[in-house]
Amino acid sequence: MILPKSFYERDPAVVARELLGNILVVNDNELLKGKIVETEAYYGLSDPASRAFKGKTKLSRWMWEDAGSTFVYMVHSYWLFNIITERKGKPSGVLIRAVEPLEGIDYMAKRRGTDDIKNLTSGPGKLTISFNINGDDNGLKVYDKDSRIFIEKGEDKNFRIATSKRIGVREDLQEHLRFFVEGNKFVSR
């Protein structure tokens, strides 16, 4: 079952936490799947670490789209994959930081140039390389089964969730907005 649009029409921290254990699916000549094991929430205009903090720009305009839309942007030569939350016109979102590879692992290894499974998707840039996600994927609807990228409901929810400050953020909000599956070897370090 694909997670519905209403799943994303909520507070980004709630969505970030509840995305853990669900399945990222990308149809890229081959079906690629990974269990989401690490996320970060971003609050838009009130969040100095958000792409929307300085207002709507050519890059950040995707954050004002409907909940469940994709927002992919580049940092340090790596694409980062985000899903928009809340309602249209209120910018906020969730960065998918890491997944546990489930299907299409040989394809991911070839794209990443490594056979080390722990190194395929254990960070946001590694994930987008392995799943071939890039700037052309902006605006896709992850709740649409016909989309190239969508999120399926995961069956395994038997894990503990840990939290921390967001990674690589200079000016962070007070609350912990990074969520991850405790002890999972695919969580970024």
pLDDT in tens, 106-144: 999 999 999 999 999 999 999 999 999 999 999 999 999
The answer to which of 8-17, 78-87, 89-98, 168-177 has the lowest mean pLDDT is: 168-177
Reported CATH class of domain 5-181: alpha beta
The angle formed by the CA atoms of residues 172, 45 and 89, to the nearest 5 degrees, is: 140
- List strand residue ranges (DSSP E) for the chain, in order: 23-27, 31-42, 70-75, 78-84, 93-103, 149-152, 161-164, 178-181
pTM: 0.93
> Tokens 């140039």 sit at which residue?
113
Distance CA 80, CA 135 (A): 9
pLDDT at 183: 96
Backbone angles phi, psi at 167, to 5 degrees: -85, 135
pLDDT in tens, 147-185: 999 999 999 889 999 999 988 887 877 799 999 999 999
